[in-house]
Amino acid sequence: MALLLATVVLAIAAAGLAVAWTFAIADDYVEELASAQRRLELLSAASGRVGDYALIAMQTTEAKGQPDRLSLPRKRVQETFVRLDEEIARAVARSGDAQQAALISSRSRVVAQMRGRFEFLDRQALESIREAREGQPGNVERLRGAMDTFAAGFGPALSAAIEEERVKASEAQEAMAQLRARLAPGAIGAVSLSLIAAFVLYRTLAWPLVSRISQVARAAREIARGRTDTRLPVHGHDELSLAMMRFNRMASQLARREAKLMADQARLQEMVDERTVELRAANERLSGIDRARRRFFTDVSHELRTPLTVILGEADVTLRARSGAEDLTAALTTIRARARRLHRRVEDLLRVARSESGQLELELEPVLVTELVSDAREAVEPAARQRGVTFAVEPGVGEVYVEADADWLRQVIEGLAANALRHSAYGGLVRLTASEAAGVVTLNVSDDGAGIAESDLPHVFERFYRGGAAAEREGSGFGIGLALARWVVERHGGAIAIDSRTAAPGRASGTTVTITLPALNLAA
């Protein structure tokens, strides 16, 4: 590979040098021909512009016109001579031969003589025009004689200069033709030699290299198709042979890894199948437990609802009759209180069962927040007075609406307030506040009771959870009030949170339940 690369580089370098040398010679001939052509064009232009000058001078003398008419023709003739001098100077500077430079410089003398004759004619023309304007006779004849004298000296010099430039251009063309004749056989020989060298290099170096690379490509395709047992024949110790050895080593490693991967995949599939069977069985067990739990809630609710209604009705009738002993009245009062508490728990159980089965639907409509707060105050204040607890309400939201089921949301607020009353001691304070900010309505129910233990706080929203002292407290409930409240609030697109602190030295105790609901924009 290194030999092939070196041969190609040397061939390209030789060809480049030959082409550069040829271009340099051809460029000299072309530039010499172009320079002679430019000088020919300038000499022809000088002839024409001198003729224009002579015609205008004769017309101005005959018409006794202004000498200024000769300014422009004179300027053009002078510009032509200046360009001729510049072109001859460039030709002298470009010529490397002293004899050739001397021959070119001789043309500058011819151009200088032609310019001197023109300047002498210009002075004679200006003098003739001046005399004609002064009225002196014979000016036209004198100017014509001066022009004839000028033509007799200027014409032959111009013709000789033009002829020399034509000869020079012909010599340049002939030199280019000779260069082509010399280079043609060399070019043909170089091309033939290049073809022969290319064929030899291809057969001796490139073809074996290409064949081996094709073998590598075919082996790579076979491995890509999964045939990792493919191997390459290795001959020699060059770079490609080393690469083929590494290729075989890589194929062996791939084969080992594929075998290990297939074994791991088989073991993984077995584990997945086993875990799938276990998960399916566990899911079936959980589904059965969940169905049994829902059926239990529904059965308990329906079985106890009717008897409790009868008990409450009989107790109310007996109390309204005001007949019987005081012991009977006290007993009926106790029965009535117990029945009301049991009735409330059964209703909670039925709501939970309906919410889990999807039978409970909310009827959402715009509800004024101040009305919810006012209704909660009317329902809770009698119980607060009976327990000796102050119930403070701060509806500070104004005309703010939420989209809600008024009955359910009212029950949630009343239930939270009732919980706060039950956990407040005599003379305590329960506060219900409402506020609105950034399109969010916030309802807070707080008390200054004993608070909730830190270990119980993460579980208060779990159904049937009754931790710590709450499990032993009279009338503490079944542990479904907050769970049901969270379900209702989340169905309204809101959130509910609880913050509680137990009594400690230097710190007040109490519990605060916060409900956040999106405010309803009626203007939209």
Q: Find the range with the poorest average confidence among 149-163, 302-316, 368-382, 385-399.
A: 302-316
Of the two residues 440 and 245, the one the predictor is more confident about is 440
Contact between 404 and 492 under an 8 Å Cβ cutoff? The reply is yes
Residue-wise pLDDT tens digits, 356-410: 555 556 788 999 988 888 888 888 888 888 889 999 998 877 788 999 888 888 8
Q: Is the pLDDT of residue 290 over 80?
A: no
**Structure confidence at residue 514 as a pLDDT band (50, 70, 90):** very high
Q: Is the pLDDT of residue 217 over 80?
A: yes
Mean of the pLDDT values across residues 465-488? 58
Of the two residues 513 and 165, the one the predictor is more confident about is 513
Residue-wise pLDDT tens digits, 198-207: 778 777 767 7
Alpha-carbon span 65 to 63, nearest angstrom: 5
Mean of the pLDDT values across residues 272-276? 90
**Structure confidence at residue 162 as a pLDDT band (50, 70, 90):** confident
Q: State how far the alpha carbon of 466 is from the alpha carbons of 456, 479, 499, in Å.
A: 8, 6, 17
Amino acid at 171: E
Residue-wise pLDDT tens digits, 241-254: 778 788 888 888 88
Helical residues (DSSP H) of 322-424, grouped into ranges? 326-357, 369-387, 406-422
Q: Find the range with the poorest average confidence among 29-43, 250-264, 265-279, 402-416.
A: 29-43
Residue-wise pLDDT tens digits, 47-95: 888 888 888 888 888 877 787 888 888 888 888 888 888 877 777 777 6
pLDDT score, position 494 = 93
Q: Is the pLDDT of residue 350 over 60?
A: yes
Contact between 77 and 43 under an 8 Å Cβ cutoff? The reply is no
Nearest to 250 by CA among 212, 219, 225: 219
Q: Is the pLDDT of residue 322 over 60?
A: no
Burial of 391 per CB tally in 10 Å (0-12, 13-18, 19+): buried
Contacts of 73 (CB under 8 A, 6+ apart): 49, 52, 53, 56
Alpha-carbon span 2 to 460, nearest angstrom: 82
Phi, then psi, of 444 in degrees rounded to 5 = -120, 130
Q: Is the pLDDT of residue 477 over 50?
A: no
Query: Degrees (nearest 5) of the Cα angle 204, 205, 207?
Result: 85
pLDDT score, position 186 = 75
DSSP letters for 388-408: T-EEEEEETT-S-EEEE-HHH
- Per the document, the length of the chain is 524
Mean pLDDT (the chain) is 77
For the chain, the 3-state helix, strand and coil shares in percent, each to the nearest 5, are: 75, 10, 15
Q: Is the pLDDT of residue 426 over 80?
A: yes
What percent of the chain is predicted at pLDDT more than 70?
Answer: 74
Q: Is the pLDDT of residue 515 over 90?
A: yes
Q: Is the pLDDT of residue 476 over 60?
A: no
Q: Is the pLDDT of residue 222 over 70?
A: yes
Place of tokens 């004749």: 181
The 3-state DSSP class for residue 94 equals: helix
Contacts of 506 (CB under 8 A, 6+ apart): none
Q: Other CB atoms closer than 10 Å to residue 332's CB: what's the count? A: 18
Mean of the pLDDT values across residues 433-457? 87
Q: Other CB atoms closer than 10 Å to residue 171's CB: what's the count? A: 14
DSSP H/E element including 34: helix 2-63
